[in-house]
Amino acid sequence: MSQTIKEIYSLNQNNQNAEPEYALDKWYARLINKTADEIDLEDVSRMLTQNVFIDLGIKKAMEILSEDPIAGVFYDGQLLELLSAVDLDEFKDLSQLKLLLQEINNNLSNFDWSSEEDQIEYNELLTNCLNRINL
């Protein structure tokens, strides 16, 4: 995908010459000039937290989780935690998300956990996320 987010969503920024003052504004200005392929874990985490481009954020979160189910910027499992807090009603392809989460659930014992407590917490988070999708 070679289009930037600005082009995909047909965004028109009126104040393009003004330098963003706040960190979140600076991040947003950088984000909309990226292509979908350039979006990284930190971008996805902020997209989900800030409720920005949620559909794209969920799709990218699924890509990241399929490669690293315990991905997180600050701690293991953070991306799944952020994803579980998002309103999934607007996401069009819940079946793909459900399949991914079920696959992760089937492979939980294969992950390298730093403690049994981490594994239990992640399992609870995963179960809650799956239950939300099944409703």
Q: Is residue 12 part of a domain?
A: no
CA 43, distance to chain mean position in Å, is: 8
Q: What is the mean pLDDT of each run of 10 residues along the chain (135 residues)?
A: 88 69 93 96 97 94 96 94 88 89 93 90 94 81
User: What is the spatial distance between Cα 32 and Cα 39, in angstroms, rounded to a whole number?
Assistant: 10
User: What is the spatial distance between Cα 79 and Cα 72, in angstroms, rounded to a whole number?
Assistant: 5
Q: Which domain holds residue 119?
A: 39-134
36 residue type, one letter:
A
* pLDDT for the residue 135: 61
Q: Is residue 8 part of a domain?
A: no
Q: Is residue 115 part of a domain?
A: yes
* pLDDT for the residue 2: 87
Query: Total domain count for the chain?
Result: 1
Q: Is residue 52 part of a domain?
A: yes
Residue 4 β-bridge partners = 35
Q: Is residue 76 part of a domain?
A: yes
Distances (CA, A) of 74 to 67, 70, 78, 89: 17, 11, 7, 27
* pLDDT for the residue 112: 86
Q: Is residue 59 part of a domain?
A: yes
Instruction: Map residue 32 onto helix, strand or coil.
Output: coil
* pLDDT for the residue 21: 85
pTM score, two decimals?
A: 0.89
* pLDDT for the residue 16: 57
Q: Is residue 49 part of a domain?
A: yes
Q: Is residue 54 part of a domain?
A: yes
